Structure 1
Amino acid sequence: MDLDTHLDNFRTAVELLGGQQQAARALQISDRSLRYLISGQRRLHDGILSDLCKALIDHAAKCRALESALNPAFAANRTPLQDVPLHADPKRWKGGN
């Protein structure tokens, strides 16, 4: 992989982790150090990339768990109001808002 693509992938990963501040926290480095890495002023070494991959895997696991808890395709996740037709008269269901 060429250096530019590698750096672009790194930047995308940082954004997916919630931006520079969140990614720096996940990587246990300073915002300044992360800025140097993002700008290409410092080399992306194996240790930082391994830590980034671990943070991405952890983030993905949390996203999968949240999706499973929110997905209305699972009957256990549905609320009574989700079974009311979308354009139903609001007076027919409790809550009214």
Structure 2
Amino acid sequence: MALDFPNHSRSFDEARRAVRFSGYDGMQQIRFFIEAAALAKSNGWDSATTASEAACLAAFDAGRASIQDIARVIYSRGRHPFYVLTASDFPGR
């Protein structure tokens, strides 16, 4: 089956400094995190450590389609309990 993102919910994980979101492969939930540093890179911020929760969530919402596209690519490389998207996963930004 293909990875799909029918649920638009996302949340900020302070401990990981990342936005958490989920996709589904059939009935199986697949967990993803995108680090604040990756969001900072894609938005031209000076520092991911100073980015607020609201800024990270807004950046995720603005880049949702491309983030989900990268998540699909990473998911297709192999099955894991969860995936962490980093700045290196977003070349050319």
State the TM bucket, normalised to the shorter chain.
0.3 to 0.5
**Greater relative contact order (Cα 8 A, min sep 6): structure 1 or 2?**
2
Q: TM-score, length-normalised on structure 2?
A: 0.35
Question: Considering only CA atoms, is the larger Rg found in Structure 1 or Structure 2?
Answer: 1
